[in-house]
Copies of this chain bind each other. A is one copy, B any other.
Amino acid sequence: MFTRQVLDYGFVRVVDTMGDDSAIVQAARVSYGDGTKAPSDDRSLIRYLMRHWHSTPFEMCEVKLHVKLPVFVARQWIRHRTANVNEYSARYSIMDREFYVPDPQNICSQSTINKQGGADPVEPVLADAVQGMFIDASEGSYKEYDEMLEAGVARETARMVLPINVYTQWYWKVDLHNLFHFLRLRSDPHAQYEIRVYADAIAEFVAQWVPEAWAAFQDYRLNAMSLSAMEVECMKTLLMGADPAYENMSGREISEFEEKMKRMGVTDYD
């Protein structure tokens, strides 16, 4: 089965799946009637469903993953509520001495533009110091944890000193529609690096598992572009050869529009 190492101690492992591209088609045909059933039509049907936000047929596929991940990643992940989870319990069991320590290129300085993210990697000297602080803090906490356990303190209490970069693991089961939603949010450049790499590993599997649905997801979601009502007006102006007036748009929205225009090859207007 599909397995990928993620981060320093983590992994994503596929435990089981239900359905594939043909299950999507099968479910859709219950709703939309029979019609022609040539293989070429399956592809078109899947693309039509994705394009028109007919999400229920995608819910007919299900995947169960075994994931090992740092606690702070688990905290972001669990916000996706429409899924089933069984997590390792630090009340029942002893946590392993495994902590996530970021690689130097993933230790970034605080972005001043994007309040929630990092900018460029910090200087090597600082990166080195940060890794040292991670190791010190983690080892120090684990030592306290271990001593408390040794002294007979309840596991549910002792574990409270462990840091959020400690690894946990869980079984996570989700349908394909909700998995696509997860992937859209978590493979986005605004998502934190440490969850993005899990999303990327899962995406790699999804591309093998349901290739037609995955291709449609890329074309109509991941690589699609959404234009606001105001941006539609701007585009209209641009298509007439004039410069957009940016009515009712904030400075931030204007620069978001300019980003989109870069992708359209329009860079020299203004």
A contact residues vs B (CB 8 Å cutoff) = 15-19, 23, 26-28, 30-33, 44, 47-48, 51-53, 56-57, 59-60, 62, 64, 66, 70-72, 74-75, 78-79, 81-82, 84-89, 91-93, 100, 102, 106-111, 115-119, 122, 126, 129-130, 133-134, 136-138, 140-141, 144, 147-149, 151-157, 159-165, 169-171, 173, 175, 185, 190, 192, 218-220, 223-232, 235-236, 238-240, 248, 250, 252-253, 256, 263-266
Closest chain B CB from A176 CB (angstroms): 10
Cα distance A116–B87 in the bound complex, in angstroms = 14
Cα distance A133–B9 in the bound complex, in angstroms = 27
A33-B115, A78-B79, A164-B164 given; 10 more Cβ-contact pairs under 8 Å: A16-B18, A27-B86, A32-B115, A56-B85, A71-B75, A126-B152, A129-B151, A136-B144, A137-B141, A224-B226
Question: Closest chain B residue to A136 by CB distance?
Answer: B144
Point out which of A18, A56, A141, A154 has the most chain B C-beta atoms below 10 A from its C-beta: A154
Q: Are B86 and A152 in contact (CB under 8 A)?
A: no
